């Protein structure tokens, strides 16, 4: 485990951290989830060794604290969502090389095998957040093969350099890819903006959708973990992933 922590201030116009119990209609948690916060750190720097069996990551991010800098405010949106999924990389490559005829995803129009007009999109209601602003603190948790002090210091230095220069491998986002997140690396010294006076027992909150302990990353099934979240004075303390406070399914039961 790295002794250093890294802090980002992140903000954006819209966000949606969907509560899983709401099923079809999207309804956001009042604050960002640890999973979405980890995704922002990943977008700036997360790397590993890639081979035919998948990716062996150097480390994973452990989000430790979420500070709410703007009071949660909801906004109702109605959006068109595409029903179908994009095909696999293998299929797309076959289309590009001309080995298979491409099959478009129809947003409107198109017909099924019986000749009936089809619509490939559906309208869904979204209760999103607007004008969000958070301060996120996280730490590098190295994998067993990359846990020497020199390697950990290297990971910390690369992340800090990239974050200070505003670099990222992909645009970070708040829950949905159409809600971009903007970030700034900060050094906590007591002069930053204080969290808002917001207190709420959220209850069972999504912690992550993947098993952060895995040594090899493949196209695995989701591994849902939850924790009992309580915001006190605008701060949400996140327990370590290995903690008993984080409820995880038994391996092989998903």
Q: What is the mean pLDDT of residues 49-75?
A: 92
187-235 per-position pLDDT tens digit: 877 778 899 999 999 999 999 999 998 888 876 678 999 999 999 999 9
Q: What is the pLDDT of residue 192?
A: 82
Residue 34 to residue 47: CA distance in whole angstroms: 19
Q: What is the mean pLDDT of residues 5-26?
A: 91
- The C-alpha angle with vertex 35 and arms to 4 and 29, in degrees rounded to 5, equals 125
CATH 3.30.70.2660 domain extents, the chain: 6-76+129-247
Structure tokens at 152: 């950990």
Q: Residues 108, 63: contact at Cβ < 8 Å?
A: no
Q: What is the mean pLDDT of residues 14-36?
A: 91
- What architecture is domain 6-76+129-247? 2-Layer Sandwich (3.30)
171-197 per-position pLDDT tens digit: 999 999 999 999 999 987 777 889 999
* Global confidence as pTM: 0.85
Residue 162: phi and psi, rounded to 5, are -65, -45
DSSP helix/strand/coil, 38? helix
């Amino acid at each position: 485990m790295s002794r250093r922590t890294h802090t980002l201030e992140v903000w954006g116009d819209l966000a949606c951290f969907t509560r899983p119990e709401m099923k079809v209609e999207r309804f956001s948690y009042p604050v960002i989830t640890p999973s979405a916060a980890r995704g922002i750190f990943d977008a700036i720097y997360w790397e590993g060794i890639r081979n035919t069996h998948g990716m062996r990551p150097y480390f994973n991010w452990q989000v430790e604290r979420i500070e709410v800098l703007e009071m949660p405010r909801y906004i109702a949106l109605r959006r068109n969502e595409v029903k179908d999924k994009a095909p696999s990389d293998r299929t797309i490559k076959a289309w590009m090389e001309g080995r298979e005829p491409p099959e478009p995803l129809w947003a409107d129009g198109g017909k099924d095998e019986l000749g009936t007009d089809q619509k490939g999109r559906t309208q869904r209601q979204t209760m999103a957040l607007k004008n969000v602003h958070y301060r996120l603190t996280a730490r590098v948790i190295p994998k067993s093969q990359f846990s020497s002090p020199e390697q950990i210091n290297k990971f910390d230095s690369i992340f800090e350099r990239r974050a200070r220069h505003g670099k990222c491998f992909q645009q970070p986002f708040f829950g949905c890819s159409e809600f971009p997140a903007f970030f700034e690396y900060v050094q906590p010294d007591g002069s930053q903006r204080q969290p808002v006076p917001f207190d709420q027992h959220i209850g069972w909150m999504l912690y992550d959708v993947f098993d952060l302990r895995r040594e090899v990353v493949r196209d695995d099934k989701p591994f849902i973990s939850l924790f009992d979240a309580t915001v006190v004075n605008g701060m949400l303390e996140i327990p370590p992933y290995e903690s008993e406070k984080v409820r995880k399914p038994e391996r092989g039961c998903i």
